[in-house]
Amino acid sequence: MARVPTIHHRILSSDCGPQEFTVEPAINLSDDTVFEFLGEKFDSVRCDPELENSSEEDECCQEAESDDFWERQSQHLQSTICRTTSLESQIRKITNHVLDGETGNGCGCTEHFSSACRKCLMEDVCRNLRNAGFDSAICTSKWRSSPDIPSGQHTFLDVVDNSNPKKGQVRVVIEFNFRAEFEMARANQHYKELINQLPETFVGKIERLLGVLKIMSSATKKCMKEKKMHMGPWRKHSYMQAKWLRTSDNNRSPPPPPHSARLPRPMRSMLTLDLNESGLHRPVVRVV
């Protein structure tokens, strides 16, 4: 084959003199060479089975880690709730006795609900606990807004026990509809199963309550991350803590007397008006 001569190109520039550069001659590619290059190209973009297997393994690992997380949370929650002391058991027994008696009896307040309202339940439970010798009161927690959580307030029952000087003051919280505090509409199945482990009415020491809040707040954050939902400030751990921690002695009040012991409010209407009263009696006037 004859040698192909080198081709020179010249570029004319207005700023400087002529410049030359050398271009190598074109390569004579045979059909075999072209197909060989194409084969290498397709081999380079062909899917690697090892990468596919690696991706599937990553997904399996994530699912396994998620299952392990929910299993640990379930075990921690169960062990935290099942633990109890004699003080908690006594308070829980009185609370359940009052709740069982109120079921289906209606509300004692003037609003006449079909079932006992939260306000009347708290008053009845608090009254029975005080009759049993416990320092029970209705608590109202209030907190101001901050960059992390909005302001709010919450009402619940607590019992303060100072019977053991060695242990110091022990505070037991009674929260009705405790399970509803953590429910969400679009929760995954793992979170729903965790919610079902919670008691409807919580009776426990403040330390036990804080342990439950830590477990549930972590579960709430995990659930919303898996569901790709925004976590509202009212579901944050600090907001849940504020409900039962932002209290003082000034916010504790004893229950009012029962409705049967209250003096009835005088009611007057035109239907019950006594027309024989002296101030309302008028002589009959004959119309001509």
Write out pLDDT tens, residues 47-57.
Answer: 555 555 556 66
Token digits of residue 90 = 């006594």
CB 107 within 8 A of CB 115: yes
Residue 73 lies in a domain: yes
Q: Which amino acid is located at 135 in the chain? A: D
The residue range of the domain holding 239 is 60-256
Rounded Cα distance between 158 and 139, Å, is: 7
CB 116 within 8 A of CB 107: yes
Domain count, the chain: 1
Residue 173 lies in a domain: yes
pTM across the whole model: 0.66
- Please give the radius of gyration of the chain, using alpha carbons only, rounded to the nearest integer: 39
Rounded Cα distance between 155 and 19, Å, is: 90
pLDDT at 129: 97
CB 19 within 8 A of CB 11: yes
Helix axes 206-226, 237-245, angle to 10 degrees: 160
Residue 264 lies in a domain: no
Q: What percent of the chain has pLDDT over 70?
A: 61
Residue 30 lies in a domain: no
Residue 261 lies in a domain: no
Instruction: For residue range 265-279, list pLDDT tens digits in order.
Output: 555 555 555 555 555
pLDDT at 241: 94
Rounded Cα distance between 240 and 42, Å, is: 58
Rounded Cα distance between 192 and 110, Å, is: 37
Q: H/E element holding 160?
A: strand 152-161
pLDDT at 105: 57
pLDDT < 70 regions, the chain: 1-59, 102-116, 247-251, 256-288
pLDDT at 190: 95
CB 134 within 8 A of CB 159: yes
Token digits of residue 51 = 């990468």
Nearest to 129 by CA among 179, 198, 203: 203
pLDDT at 114: 40
Residue 25 lies in a domain: no
